[in-house]
Amino acid sequence: MRCMALFLALVVAPAAAQSVLRQSTTPPGREGRKELRKETLFSGAWTANVAKSQRHPNHLFQSATLRFAVAGDTVTLTHGGVNASGQKESGTTTLQADGKEHPASEQVPGVVVVTRWVGSHVLETVAKKDGRTVGQGTYEVSADGKMLTAKVWGTDASGARFEHVIVFDRN
């Protein structure tokens, strides 16, 4: 697997969940309920469950991990893993989930990322290069906060399209 594919599969695939609930200011009529916040859901460490995932045949990474830190709309993501060739890959990037274009990373020059929250359980990311969409991910945290499902498609360094459904379990 090429570094670009792992980058798109993990970094353009940001999301995570945490089972800890935070008490927030509760609107009238909802007293006593605990509400999940994106900062709580999209923070923590995750490991790809390869057996439950659907990986593209050309990008059969051996393992993948994600660690997210979320403060408001700032998402810091550290990814790591072992690619199909057995080589370790890792990196850290910061995403702004504000719906605006931002440079993706020095690893992929010319690529911009648009990231936005879709409620408290979903983070959506679109990668573009030269105005064309080259990757997209929708990341949904399960209701119990223990599993993250990343539905990701992208274009790898060779220009070939790939799709993944990666299931992550909370560490």
Find, among 114, 164, 156, the residue nearest to 3 by Cα: 156
Q: What is the mean pLDDT of the chain?
A: 80
pLDDT digits (tens, 9 = 90+) for 4-45: 444 444 444 433 222 222 223 333 443 333 445 777 787 899
pLDDT digits (tens, 9 = 90+) for 35-86: 457 777 878 999 999 999 999 998 899 999 999 888 988 988 899 999 999 9
Q: Indicate the residue type of 70.
A: V
Instruction: Please give the span between the terminal C-alpha atoms of the chain, in angstroms, as a whole number.
Output: 25
DSSP letter (8 states) at residue 130: T
What confidence score (pLDDT) does residue 6 get? 45
Residue that wins the pLDDT comparison between 92 and 63: 63
pLDDT digits (tens, 9 = 90+) for 137-152: 998 989 899 999 999 9
Asked if 121 contacts 101 with a C-beta cutoff of 8 angstroms, the reply is: no
| Cα-based torsion angle of the residue sequence 66, 12, 147, 32 in order, rounded to the nearest 10 degrees | 100
Three-state DSSP at 79 gives strand
Half-sphere exposure of 35 (CA within 13 A, CB side): 11
Find, among 76, 47, 77, 52, the residue nearest to 64 by Cα: 47
- List, in order of start, the domains of the chain with CATH numbers: 3-21+32-170 (2.40.128.20)
Structure tokens at 36: 């999940």
Which residues 6+ apart lie within 8 Å of 65 measured at CB?
Answer: 45, 46, 47, 48, 79, 80, 81, 171
Distance from C-alpha of 97 to C-alpha of 74, rounded to nearest angstrom: 6
